[in-house]
Chain A
């Protein structure tokens, strides 16, 4: 079974802090994704990566950056956390580029910015 592990389940940070959310997958997947989940809005794509050191903006990249130095690890960075970034963050991976490859999700990190 594919395992996608997010390093923290809950985080509380202060406004202006730099925040790192870490994600690791163990199935040698090419593609990795970061989503945020908010009630009534579903999941919105922040950034994704098709390969090591490659990154592409999703629908809501503002205020975020990412890093993929190794194939199995994809980090989401909040350069200066703000209260409107309080949300559930979900990391996902998929095996191959292609529209019918399902996403495999981690359990999420619930971030609160005060």
Chain B
């Protein structure tokens, strides 16, 4: 069975600082992994996805994530935070069938001017 944990329900960073949002997963099959972002009063939108083509995945808005099989991790990073990055971020994992998309509990990112 698949599961996702996100360390830290709330993360605060200063504008211009590194953003690091942590995601660890467990999966009995090679996983597909996703990061979604949710801005206030909106639905979720895809930031990036890992599908085994490359371990370092680049997404929209300058975000990227690295798949580390040995650590079962898929942490999200951005070199320099912008005020507009303030949002809720969700890591998700799927297995072999789509009805088993599992979302993590989410991490709320605040950016301090």
Chain A residues packing against B (C-beta within 8 Å): 4, 9, 31, 40-45, 48, 56, 58, 90, 92, 94, 97-108
Q: Within residues 64 to 113 of chain B, which ones have a CB less than 8 A from any CB in chain A?
A: 90, 94-99, 101, 103-106
Q: What are 11 A-B contacts defined by CB distance under 8 Å? A: A42-B4, A43-B44, A43-B103, A45-B99, A48-B98, A99-B32, A100-B32, A103-B44, A103-B46, A107-B42, A107-B43
Nearest CB of chain A from residue B104's CB, rounded to whole Å: 6
- Tell me if B26 counts as interface (CB < 8 A to partner A): no
The reply to whether B101 and A42 contact each other, CB–CB distance below 8 Å, is: no
Q: Which of chain A's residues has its CB closest to B29's CB?
A: A99
Nearest CB of chain B from residue A49's CB, rounded to whole Å: 11
Interface centre among A9, A90, A105 (most CB of B within 10 A): A105
Partner of B41, one of A41, A101, A103, A107: A107
The reply to whether B98 and A99 contact each other, CB–CB distance below 8 Å, is: yes
Nearest CB of chain A from residue B23's CB, rounded to whole Å: 12
Nearest CB of chain B from residue A107's CB, rounded to whole Å: 5
Q: Which of chain B's residues has its CB closest to A35's CB?
A: B103
Partner of B105, one of A40, A56, A92, A108: A40
Known interface pairs A41-B105, A42-B90, A42-B103. Does A108 touch B42 (Cβ–Cβ under 8 Å)? yes
Complex contacts, B9 vs chain A, CB 8 Å: 40
Known: A40-B105, A41-B105, A103-B36. 19 other contacts (CB 8 A): A31-B98, A42-B90, A42-B106, A90-B44, A92-B44, A94-B98, A97-B98, A98-B98, A99-B95, A99-B96, A99-B98, A101-B98, A102-B46, A103-B44, A105-B36, A106-B43, A108-B41, A108-B42, A108-B43
Interface centre among A9, A48, A98, A99 (most CB of B within 10 A): A99
Nearest CB of chain A from residue B67's CB, rounded to whole Å: 13
The reply to whether B46 and A100 contact each other, CB–CB distance below 8 Å, is: no
